[in-house]
Structure 1
Amino acid sequence: MSTPRELLDRHLRLMQAGDLEGVLGQYHEDAVLVRFAAPVVGKAALREHLGAYLAGRPVVKEVLNVAASDDVVSYQAVVEHAGEEQRTYGALFLRGERIARQVSGLFPVTSGEGRRKSGVHVDLEPYTAWPSRAVPDPRSAGREAIGPALLEIVAAEGPILAERAYRLYVKASGGKALTSIARAPLSGSTFRLRQAGAIDFEEGSEVLRPAGTPEVRVRELGPRALDEVPLREVAELMRRLRAAGATELPRAVLDAYGLVRMTAKAEDFLAQAEQVSLMADV
């Protein structure tokens, strides 16, 4: 029988190896993962959440502290994820030799590259991720099957980039990539949902939202990559940060989202958002 410390060590090894099935095998079917953004409940939701996390290729750099009892093990570690160092801490609550409940938090690690915190705080809404479930293959399913599932995604995560919504659907259907063949019926279902009055989006807009809901919501990053955040959402965050006294807005946005490294891609994206923010103030 494995000890709680051995279970934690195996958990970290499987995470670093990117073994999603191995990691999921450590959880009970009704397991709950509590994060800052929102709780993740059940195997299906864990698959979506952990799959997105493992895509960032986490590397455990150092295990700092571990404390264990018969059915609980707490830990702190430094992990490199998507090229950024983060301090992760949490606790695994066990039932038998599997995880029944997990509490986990991530904080950026100050880099040696002279990273400076903005020192400015604004409140962000929690981000609610769609609890992934099996959906029909968009290439063969009819509109009656695609529409309700796509509406679920938009209702949970909207305003959401159409690209992210379509990728979530394709992944839930068992697909690996959003191809043009899969995109066409998803795009068609999007237009039909708007015609039915279920969702809203402006002509030429890539952002979908439930009908009658705000066009912009400033939320935590959640499971999104930075470039999966709607541009106007980042621009509104910048406006609020500026009002709160921030001067280096791109850096302040990364701080607000708990990100560390300013990549060239992030710099370009945030420059666009800053232009949108400034135009909104004119």
Structure 2
Amino acid sequence: MTTTPRELFDRHVRLIEAGDLEGLLGQYHEDAVLLRFDRVVRGKDALREHYGAYLAARPHFKELLQVADTEDLVSYQAVIEQGDEEHRAYGAIWTRGERIARHVSGLFPVAAGGAARKGVVHVDLEPYTAWPSRSVPDPRNAGREAIGPVLLEIVDAEGPILAERAYRLYVKASGGKALTSIARAPLSGATFRLKAAGAIEMEEGSEVLRPAGTAEVRVRELGQRALDEVPLREVAELMRRLRAAGAVELPRAVLDAYGLVRMTAKAEDFLAQAEQVSEMADV
């Protein structure tokens, strides 16, 4: 019987729990790639070194928050314990045959776990559903009939989504490295055609895209987004909810809610804008 991606993932979790390095490596193809947020691990030798160090920390899957799969892909969110620390894990595994060909994985500290900071305020967030990337035609020479359905697919999965993020997801899936003006033009044109056809809606005064007839704002987990890829009104609504729950230092409370730690200058500027939007909404 053929092993499904979900069955492969379930075994992946059991092997990690058991500390079975050889069993874990046996799940990967010889040319498999593990893409983490901080580095790329390519091939069996590099995977052996990576997982050897990882298993030494005795990771434990405390909770599986979300698992979804198709015929060759499984995505997941989980809470993982390592020693006295908890992390929120996000990942996606692409299979070829019955083994892993490509694995994307990231860990974020859980602010409200066993080692929570004093005074952290918790609000419930919707899960963030990422678009499962796949091979798509080059936007520079693909026709509107090819570009439009893919953009609609991205917006359906991740909307409300910044147009900039949607375009970058498309370009990356097409094999491109950067969103150039030449690539942006046909993507933007396809977006306006989808809007004119009533398939998507665009927030007035900004380039936030969402499927037609859906909520303008959804307060979700950060997921695979960078902080500045979250629509400003989404962060502002999160701030409103945090304020109602008793949070005082809203920018820091947002980082806690997203499982982020470092307050960079860029994050500080972005969150200041969101706080202004939040305060205006309360007036």
Q: TM-score, normalised by structure 2?
A: 0.68
Higher RCO, Cα 8 Å, sep 6+? 1
| Counterpart-to-counterpart distance in 2, 1:186 and 1:196 | 15
Summarize the Cα distance change of 1:244–1:156 in structure 2 as closer, same or farther, 3 Å threshold. same
| Counterpart-to-counterpart distance in 2, 1:138 and 1:120 | 43
Q: Which residue of 1 aligns with 2:229?
A: 228
What is the CA deviation profile of residues 119-167 of structure 1, one whole-angstrom value per residue up to 9, with x for unaligned ones? 2111111111111111111000011110000000000000000010000
Runs of 5+ unmatched residues, structure 2:
1-18, 48-62, 91-97
| Counterpart-to-counterpart distance in 2, 1:278 and 1:247 | 13
Q: Which residue of 1 aligns with 2:191?
A: 190
Matched, 1:130 2:151: no
- Deviating more after overlay: 195-204 vs 173-182: 195-204
What is the CA deviation profile of residues 175-223 of structure 1, one whole-angstrom value per residue up to 9, with x for unaligned ones? 1111110000000000000000000013431100001111100001111
| Counterpart-to-counterpart distance in 1, 2:230 and 2:200 | 18
Summarize the Cα distance change of 1:268–1:105 in structure 2 as closer, same or farther, 3 Å threshold. closer
1:157-236 alignment runs, 5 A limit: 157-236=158-237
Matched, 1:5 2:21: yes
Summarize the Cα distance change of 1:240–1:197 in structure 2 as closer, same or farther, 3 Å threshold. same
Indicate conservation of the 8 Å contact 2:151/2:170, yes or no: yes
Shift of 1:39: 3.6
Counterpart code for 2:234: E
**SS of the residue 2:122 aligns to:** coil
Indicate conservation of the 8 Å contact 1:77/1:89, yes or no: no
What is the CA deviation profile of residues 25-69 of structure 1, one whole-angstrom value per residue up to 9, with x for unaligned ones? 98xxxxxxx9646546565677xx9xxxxxxxxxxxxxxxxxxxx
What is the CA deviation profile of residues 62-92 of structure 1, one whole-angstrom value per residue up to 9, with x for unaligned ones? xxxxxxxxxxxxx8548xxxxxx974789xx
Matched, 1:18 2:19: no
Matched, 1:239 2:240: yes
| Counterpart-to-counterpart distance in 2, 1:162 and 1:220 | 19
| Counterpart-to-counterpart distance in 2, 1:148 and 1:204 | 24
Summarize the Cα distance change of 1:179–1:9 in structure 2 as closer, same or farther, 3 Å threshold. same
Indicate conservation of the 8 Å contact 2:222/2:258, yes or no: yes
**SS of the residue 1:190 aligns to:** helix
Summarize the Cα distance change of 1:217–1:5 in structure 2 as closer, same or farther, 3 Å threshold. same
What is the CA deviation profile of residues 242-275 of structure 1, one whole-angstrom value per residue up to 9, with x for unaligned ones? 0011111111111111111111111111111001
Counterpart code for 1:18: R
Indicate conservation of the 8 Å contact 1:37/1:127, yes or no: no
Q: Which residue of 2 aligns with 1:65?
A: none
| Counterpart-to-counterpart distance in 2, 1:156 and 1:7 | 34
1:44-193 alignment runs, 5 A limit: 77=82, 87=87, 106=107, 108=109, 116-193=117-194
Identity of aligned residues (%): 74
Indicate conservation of the 8 Å contact 1:147/1:190, yes or no: yes
State how many pairs are aligned: 227
Counterpart code for 2:40: D
Q: Which residue of 2 aligns with 1:280?
A: 281
| Counterpart-to-counterpart distance in 1, 2:239 and 2:263 | 16
Runs of 5+ unmatched residues, structure 1:
27-33, 50-74, 79-84, 91-96
